Amino acid sequence: MKSHILTKYFVGDIFILVNIKKYIKNMPSILKLLENIGLSGNEASVYLATIKLGSGTSEDIAHAAKLQRTTTKSILERLQQKGFVSLQKSRSKHIYWIEDPKVVLNKENARLDLIKEIFSQINYEYKTTDRKPKVEVFDTREGIITLISKVINETKKGDEILTFESPSANNYQKVMTNELFQALSKQKITKGIQTRVIIPLGESKQIRPSSLKFNVTIRELPDNLAFTSSIWIFGKSIGFFSGNQIFAVIIKHEEMHDSFSAIFNFLWSMSKKI
């Protein structure tokens, strides 16, 4: 006749005898799994010893776990706090029972839900917090052409691009052909992108007539406000571009973008329509 090794579980007011012989050979792997969910090596050993016994005093469990009684008692108190074991007082003895694993699982699921809720809020704060700007530098014609194409492609349909431009500086003509400029401008029309442009006073005569066909509205600044570089305000970024020295700098930073947008709109209100 095959022998059976039984353990006794206490669930509610019911004692349940369970055949655990088949689990003994799996104890090393179970021990490792318990350590992976946060139990120390000794805590896992005491927990498994309690499973083997079903119930027992700290002395009984210490003997099964091959640990000192004082160490085992301290560990059992921690396991009780974590919900892995229950304490039943029987006359002068303190008897520890293995807790129903479902109770532990429910507790861990509740803890996991709380962690998800907390980190969901933290993730929201992380995304909305203004962090250090991301800066990209381009110093070749090919790089700047790729950048301009990328800006158009990543601008959402129907959005607006704000720019300060100096037609007399010929920034775009110095990095690309007129045909390529026209092709990129047509991409903006396809996406319904509007462009508002502010230029220095007196430079409207330098504007290529074909530029006005591409959803572009232009105004001239008051006198004594001149510049030669191009400034782009788009998405959550601002860009600085010069064809004379062949460079472009893109700064992705929402607060800086909003500040430049406010400056642009203020100057726009002061500028003359052409």
What distance lies between CA 113 and its chain's CA centroid? 18
- Concatenating the DSSP letter of every residue in 190-217 gives HTT-EEEEEE-TT-GGGS-GGGGGSSEE
**pLDDT band of 273, cuts 50, 70, 90:** confident
pLDDT score for 131: 67
Whether the per-residue pLDDT at 88 is higher than 50: the answer is: yes
Instruction: Give phi and psi for 232, each to the nearest 5.
Output: -110, 140
Question: CA 23 → CA 31, 51, 75, 240, distances in Å?
Answer: 12, 10, 23, 69
Whether the per-residue pLDDT at 146 is higher than 60: the answer is: yes
Closest to 4 (Cα-Cα) out of 16, 29, 31, 22? 22
Whether the per-residue pLDDT at 144 is higher than 70: the answer is: yes
CA distance 25 to 18: 16
Which has more pLDDT, 224 or 175? 175
Average pLDDT over residues 246-260: 92
**pLDDT band of 119, cuts 50, 70, 90:** confident
Question: How many other CB atoms sit within 10 Å of the CB of residue 180?
Answer: 14
Q: How many CA atoms lie within 13 A of 221 on its CB side?
A: 19
pTM (2 d.p.):
0.53
Whether the per-residue pLDDT at 16 is higher than 50: the answer is: no
Q: Find the farthest-apart pair of alpha carbons in the chain and give their distance in angstroms, rounded.
A: 108
CATH level 3 topology of 6-98: Arc Repressor Mutant, subunit A (1.10.10)
Directed axis angle between helix 41-53 and helix 58-65, to 10°?
110
pLDDT score for 210: 63
Which has more pLDDT, 4 or 91? 91
Q: Where are the alpha helices (DSSP H) in the chain?
A: 21-24, 27-36, 41-53, 58-65, 69-82, 101-128, 141-154, 178-190, 254-270
CA distance 33 to 142: 55
pLDDT score for 3: 40
pLDDT above 70 covers a percentage of the chain that reads 85
Residue pLDDT, tens place only, 74-83? 999 998 888 8
Question: CA 150 → CA 94, 153, 209, 267, distances in Å?
Answer: 72, 5, 25, 27
Strand pairing report for 216-220 and 194-199: parallel
- Concatenating the DSSP letter of every residue in 35-77 gives HHTT--HHHHHHHHHHHHHSEE-HHHHHHHHTS-HHHHHHHHH
Which has more pLDDT, 41 or 207? 41
pLDDT score for 195: 92
Residue pLDDT, tens place only, 179-199? 888 888 888 888 899 999 999
The answer to whether the CB of 180 falls within 8 A of the CB of 145 is yes
The CATH code of domain 134-273 reads 3.30.870.10
